[in-house]
Amino acid sequence: MTSATIRPASDYPPGGDAFRHRHLTGIAQLTPWEISYILDAAEQWVELNRGGAAKHDDALAGLTIINAFFENSTRTLLSFEIAGKRLGADVVNMHAAQSSVKKGETLIDTAMTLNAMRADAIVIRHQSSGAVQLIADKVDCPVLNAGDGRHEHPTQALLDALTIRRRKGRVEGLTIAICGDVLHSRVARSNILALTLLGNEVRVVAPPTLIPPAMERMHVRVFTDMDEGLDGADVVMMLRLQNERMDGAYLPSPREYHALYGLTPQRLANAKADAIVMHPGPMNRGVEIDSSVADDAERSTITEQVEMGVAVRMACLDILTRRTRKVPGWN
């Protein structure tokens, strides 16, 4: 199934024309074929990662990658670190808590400092929308967005697309319901952009207090009723609900949220019989998703998403450093 979905290299423009961007700051900048180019490239890394003890390639040997995380993260940081190391790069992690950011240094000054250390790629997570673009404009090396505010989280959307493609055999013409706190979610924005661009019907299912303004302008259908929103869906994508959203400002309580929007087996029955259930993690079991659904190996892709995350990030690091590495055709 998997190999059938990979397009032959001849389908893409030659060399660097297949992916013309210096940075990966968002899905908004990408074309459909650039997305599928990354997904195709990721497949080989899935194979490598599953290939037993020697999960290693030297493609990025000698390169320095800095993971600059201004916002706490465990999974995404780990995923990027493993991706870099499996490609042979020297990976350094910078946590904001340990950095001079806490001492009042501006973001631009931090960026200039990282730049002066001659990194070959910088992976950035920041709590403020647009912060990654701000840094990308100031440094000489490729910048990968690992999440900026509510804006974008492109590698999450790419790994989700790869997961869907591998499970469903395609990532087009599907009905995909994105459920939960869309207002505060960069995962939702990047997924909406990627999945609509690839030709799927995307629905947003959320309490009215957590739906962004003018949502329909992003070419999605908006539902506030969970059962209606899930009706006939091929993919149910749950979003994490931050605990602080449930203190009364946006939602009355966790139990009311679970009652109206929690993904239970009964609710999931509205979706297609073979619908898959996705979650970017970490999950609030018993709030947005029931354990019986999350742990259903037939339906849940949650651990597979984590696996695809490493492969997609390997593909992104590989592609974005090809110019630095003087790969033939990439200049």
Partner 1 sequence: MELKPLLIENARLLGGDTGCLLISDGRIAARDPADVPADAERADAKGQWLAPGIIDLGVFATDKPAFHFGGVTRAALMPDGGHPLDHPGMVERAAKGGKPDLWVHPLAAATKGLAGRELAEIGLMKASGARAVATGRARIADAGVMRRVLVYAASLGLTVIAHAEDEGLTTGAVATDGEMATRLGLASAPAIAEAMAVARDLMLVRETGAALHFRQITTAAALDLIREAKAAGLPVTCGITPAHLFLSDTAIGDFRTFARLSPPLRSEDDRHACLAAIADGTIDVLASGHDPRGPEDKRLPFAEALPGMAGAETLLAMGLQLVRDGHLTPARLFDLLAANPARLLGLDAGTLAEGMDADLILIDEGTPWQVDAKKMAAWAGNTPFDGMPMQGRATAVWKGGQRIR
Binding region for partner 1 (CB under 8 A): 28, 106-108, 126, 128-131, 133-134, 148-152, 186, 189, 212-215, 217-218
- Nearest approach, Cβ of residue 129 and partner 1 (Å): 4
DSSP codes of every residue in 61-96: TT-EEEEEESS--SHHHHHHHHHHHHTT-EEEEEEG
* Three-state DSSP state, 35: helix
Closer to partner 1 by CB, 187 or 289: give it.
187
C-alpha atoms less than 13 angstroms from C-alpha of 229 in its C-beta half-sphere: 25
- Nearest approach, Cβ of residue 100 and partner 1 (Å): 16
- Nearest approach, Cβ of residue 181 and partner 1 (Å): 13
Closer to partner 1 by CB, 190 or 200: give it.
190
Closer to partner 1 by CB, 63 or 132: give it.
132
19 within 8 A of 288, measured Cβ to Cβ: no
Closer to partner 1 by CB, 151 or 267: give it.
151
User: φ and ψ at 95, to 5 degrees?
Assistant: -95, 135
Question: Which tokens sit at 310?
Answer: 């490493």
- Nearest approach, Cβ of residue 128 and partner 1 (Å): 4
- Nearest approach, Cβ of residue 185 and partner 1 (Å): 9
- List of E strands, the chain: 64-69, 90-95, 121-126, 143-148, 175-179, 201-205, 221-223, 235-238, 276-278
187 within 8 A of 241, measured Cβ to Cβ: no
Any bridge partners for residue 144, and if so which? 24, 123
Closer to partner 1 by CB, 105 or 295: give it.
105
Total number of residues shown for the chain: 331
- Nearest approach, Cβ of residue 154 and partner 1 (Å): 13
d(C-alpha 187, C-alpha 240), whole Å: 9
C-alpha atoms less than 13 angstroms from C-alpha of 59 in its C-beta half-sphere: 22
- Nearest approach, Cβ of residue 144 and partner 1 (Å): 17
The neighbour count for residue 289, using CB atoms within 10 Å, is 27
d(C-alpha 212, C-alpha 1), whole Å: 37
List the end-to-end C-alpha distance of the chain, in Å, as a whole number.
34
d(C-alpha 170, C-alpha 251), whole Å: 36
Closer to partner 1 by CB, 104 or 328: give it.
104
d(C-alpha 277, C-alpha 300), whole Å: 5
Closer to partner 1 by CB, 2 or 209: give it.
209
- Nearest approach, Cβ of residue 122 and partner 1 (Å): 16
Closer to partner 1 by CB, 131 or 164: give it.
131
